[in-house]
């Protein structure tokens, strides 16, 4: 019979990324069925409760406490897992004890050490994020709020308060920004240049900035807004302020705006502001159509197209050899770490007249039998898959189970993947993916894109080399990878059609 253990460390805080990685290590121990290391906020307790690993001790934790929760096959395994969890928790404090002793513990103390700072990066549990962001505003600091699980009404109020002070709030749930050449959160190392980016999408910013960098150009600033900024309740407050900032920036000559489709009234407000600028804009509302753009703006349907319009020229694409490929099934299964990359792949399929189901249950092989067209794109970074678990950009093993299911599905002929590099990401995602693929690909082609640059902590060329050595077809962009996946599954149909004639 399974045994549940909870242990609470009072007034203990560790970064959520560190906790997610530790959770993964504990969950991987033999006999451990589920594990979580998480702050004791009401929302986090609900996550543990839903996972069936919250006990009385965890229920009594305060929001500032750290909960260690696990379920194991028996008491001996549970006790051994607790010992290992304590070792992991004590390791960072032992390694960083000297640094931690000197580190500022408040925003005000940090500002005393860096009096010229004008931006605070907020990465605390969502229950505390608004209060910390307000403290930053009170100190005259702009705020990048990496935290999620912030109520929409609080986001709108926070951004209105910032606007009244002439300050900007990026986020909540702002995963990527590059300010004056400094990459923040999940961002890549790209050169400075004259192209500005405004993004409600973190991976959208990453893909566009990396394509620009690999084409020999650079980025002035990439301003993240948070995924909900263009909702009617928020009204594009940060997006409009970002347009103002880049419009006034002498170093920015072209501006790219990327987002999922905004509310109609919000889109009109944004486009009206763009129309008042003397600079050219590229507008990429992934999945939107029929928008009437002002004369200084051009529409891009994909992230690759947005980069090309900003560059003023098409991007070269390597053509993979398809002749030797023989795939067993007619369907493509996309397993994505980046939500906007997933949406872009769906746009590519839709442009070819092919319906695609999205975010079906994982692993979900059986759930796809009646899916529209049989093609499916799954955003594994979506909240339904990451509640209390690592994001696949942090821990690529999150993709292992759905990948195994796709490789085992006789209807799947192509598995389509993204690999996203940069700060905050896994040290070797391509190496893990190559190991996970192994030799289980009889009749299945694996197609991937790699978002990154050779200046990243994980040099892109090395990551591409590992994938190609494992037999993966690597495209130059996510849009190219989606088109290549289509070509692979369509080619057998064309060959059969020609033979019938």
Q: Render pLDDT for 156-206 as a digit per residue (tens, 0 to 9).
A: 999 999 999 999 999 999 999 999 999 999 999 999 999 999 999 899 999
Q: Is the backbone of residue 223 left (phi > 0), alpha (psi -120 to 50) or beta?
A: beta
Give the model's pLDDT for residue 322: 55
**Cβ-count burial of 371 within 10 angstroms (0-12 exposed, 13-18 middle, 19+ buried)?**
middle
Whether pLDDT at 305 is above 50: yes
More confident residue, 98 or 41: 41
Model pLDDT for residues 355-393, shown as the tens digit of each residue: 888 765 544 334 443 444 489 999 998 877 776 667 889
Least confident of 12-16, 400-404, 430-434, 467-471: 12-16
Domains of the chain (ranges plus CATH)? 3-100 (3.30.70), 115-173 (3.40.50.720), 175-316 (3.40.50.261), 331-500 (3.40.50.261)
Q: Which residue in this structure is represented by tokens 């505003």?
A: 137
Cα separation of 188 and 74, whole Å? 44
Tokens standing for 57? 């001790």
* pLDDT higher at 19 or 390: 19
Check residues 371 and 20 and name the one with the higher pLDDT.
20
Label residue 73 exposed, middle or buried (CB < 10 Å: 0-12, 13-18, 19+). middle
Asked if residue 452 has pLDDT above 90, the reply is yes
Q: How high is the pLDDT of residue 397?
A: 84
């Amino acid at each position: 019979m399974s045994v549940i253990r909870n242990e609470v460390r009072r007034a203990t805080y560790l970064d959520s990324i560190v906790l997610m990685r530790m959770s993964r290590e504990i969950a991987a121990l033999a006999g451990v069925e589920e594990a979580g290391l998480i702050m004791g906020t009401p929302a986090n307790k609900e996550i543990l409760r839903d996972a069936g690993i919250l006990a009385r001790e965890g229920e009594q934790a305060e929001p500032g406490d750290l909960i260690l929760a696990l379920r194991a096959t028996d008491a001996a395994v549970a006790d051994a897992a607790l010992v290992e969890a304590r070792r992991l928790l004590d390791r960072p404090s032992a390694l960083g004890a000297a640094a931690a002793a000197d580190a500022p513990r408040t925003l005000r103390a940090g500002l005393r050490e860096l009096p010229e700072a004008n931006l605070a990066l907020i990465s605390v549990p969502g229950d505390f994020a608004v209060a910390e962001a307000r403290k930053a505003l009170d100190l005259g600091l702009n705020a990048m709020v990496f935290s999620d699980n912030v109520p929409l009404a609080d986001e709108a109020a926070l951004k209105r308060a910032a606007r009244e002070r002439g300050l900007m709030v990026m986020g909540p749930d702002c995963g990527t920004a590059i300010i004056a050449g400094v990459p923040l959160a999940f961002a890549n190392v790209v050169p400075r240049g004259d192209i500005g980016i405004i993004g409600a999408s973190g991976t959208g910013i990453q893909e566009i900035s990396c394509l620009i960098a690999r084409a020999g150009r650079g980025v002035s600033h990439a301003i993240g807004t948070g995924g909900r900024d263009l909702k009617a309740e928020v009204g594009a407050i940060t997006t409009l302020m970002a347009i103002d900032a880049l419009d006034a920036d002498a170093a920015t000559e072209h501006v790219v705006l990327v987002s999922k489709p905004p509310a109609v009234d919000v889109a009109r407000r944004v486009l009206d502001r763009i129309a008042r600028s003397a600079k050219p804009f590229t507008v990429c509302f992934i999945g939107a159509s029929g928008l009437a753009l002002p004369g200084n703006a051009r529409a891009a349907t994909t992230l690759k197209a947005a980069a090309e319009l900003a560059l003023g020229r098409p991007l070269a694409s390597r053509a993979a050899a398809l002749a030797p490929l023989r795939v067993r099934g007619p369907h493509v299964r996309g397993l994505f770490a980046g939500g906007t990359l997933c949406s872009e792949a769906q746009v590519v399929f839709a442009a070819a007249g092919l319906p695609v189901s999205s975010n079906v249950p994982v692993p979900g092989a059986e759930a796809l039998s009646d899916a529209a067209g049989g093609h499916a794109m799954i955003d594994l970074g979506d909240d339904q898959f990451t509640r209390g678990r690592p994001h696949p950009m942090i821990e690529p093993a999150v993709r292992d189970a759905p990948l195994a299911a796709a490789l085992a599905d006789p209807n799947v002929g192509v598995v389509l993947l993204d690999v996203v590099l940069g700060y905050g990401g896994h040290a070797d995602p391509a190496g893990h993916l190559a190991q996970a693929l192994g030799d289980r690909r009889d009749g299945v082609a694996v197609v991937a894109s790699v978002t990154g640059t050779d200046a990243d902590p994980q040099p892109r060329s090395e990551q591409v080399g590992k994938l190609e050595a494992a037999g993966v077809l690597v495209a130059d962009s996510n849009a190219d990878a989606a088109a290549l996946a289509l070509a692979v599954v369509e080619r057998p149909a064309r060959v059969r059609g020609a033979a019938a004639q």
